């Protein structure tokens, strides 16, 4: 399984598009944090905070992560190597989980350079270090869980089609819907007292909860549940090729 993980990581980082995707992510975040004027600009805020990073990153992740995951299964299906992969001494779940870990590793790899932004804001504080460490750590954990869910969604989208573009579009739609879609549905007046329940079904409320610096067990269970659900969907899609 480790061989498969290494293969996927090397395949992504061995191509120019891999570095382009990561560079676009970091550049986009950097422009909003330091260049573009407005509420997200750290220098315009008047106090040391990196909160804009955690507001912008989920929206960038909606496009970055599908771009990372769109080829994981769809390319194998298009070229026919999926049949060879299925003959390896690995279970369907091991194949799915290996590709999932590879995708998550790439997301983690793209997120690590943002620590430079945190270090910069940390030193801009007066006095130095005057920043909400609890909220920042919680937000990073929330962003990692969010990225984990998006990877699982992207993996499922890649498993149901042999076209990378379709995989990308489906993944972007599902990421958008799971992140903010339930909030929009809850705003419909006809739903009445179940508004709060519907909001809890979406990722956004749990992500915001973690961003406050409190790692609630209910939020962790929610994220792990959504990840497990989409990995199960992916395994089922992969296993259906044998039916």
Place of tokens 């879609």: 181
pLDDT at position 191 is 59
Rounded CA separation 234/98 (Å): 12
Higher pLDDT, 239 or 170: 170
pLDDT at position 177 is 92
Residue 228, both tokens: 């497990």
Residue 210, both tokens: 């973690």
Q: Give the tens place of pLDDT for each residue, 8-57.
A: 777 777 777 777 878 888 888 888 887 887 777 777 766 667 888 888 88
Distance (Å) of CA 93 to CA 72, 97, 159, 230, 236? 14, 6, 13, 12, 9
pLDDT at position 28 is 86
Percentage of the residues of the chain whose pLDDT score is greater than 90: 20
For the chain, the straight-line distance linking the first and the last C-alpha, in angstroms and rounded, comes to 24
Rounded CA separation 134/49 (Å): 12
Q: Give me the helix-helix angle, 2-13 and 92-111, nearest 10°.
A: 40
């Amino acid at each position: 399984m480790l061989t498969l993980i290494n293969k996927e990581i090397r395949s992504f980082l061995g191509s120019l598009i891999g570095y382009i995707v990561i560079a676009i992510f970091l550049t986009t975040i950097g422009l909003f944090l330091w260049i573009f004027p407005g509420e997200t600009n750290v220098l315009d805020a008047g106090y040391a905070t990196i909160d804009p990073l955690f507001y912008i990153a989920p929206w960038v992740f909606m496009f970055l992560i599908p771009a990372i995951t769109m080829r994981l299964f769809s390319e194998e299906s298009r070229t026919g190597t999926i049949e060879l992969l299925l003959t390896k001494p690995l279970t369907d779940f091991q194949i799915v989980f290996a590709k999932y870990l590879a995708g998550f590793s790439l997301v983690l790899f793209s997120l690590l350079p943002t620590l430079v932004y945190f270090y910069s804001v940390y030193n801009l504080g007066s006095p130095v270090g005057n920043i909400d460490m609890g909220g920042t750590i919680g937000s990073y954990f929330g962003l990692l869980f969010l990225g984990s869910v998006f990877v699982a969604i992207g993996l499922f989208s890649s498993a149901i089609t042999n076209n990378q573009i379709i995989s990308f579009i489906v993944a972007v739609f599902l990421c958008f819907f799971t992140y903010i879609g339930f909030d929009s549905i809850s705003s419909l007046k006809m739903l009445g007292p179940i508004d709060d329940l519907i909001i809890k079904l979406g990722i956004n409320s749990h992500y915001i909860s973690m961003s406050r610096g409190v790692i609630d067990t209910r939020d962790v269970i929610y994220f792990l549940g959504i990840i497990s659900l989409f990995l199960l969907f992916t395994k089922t899609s992969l296993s259906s090729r044998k039916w």
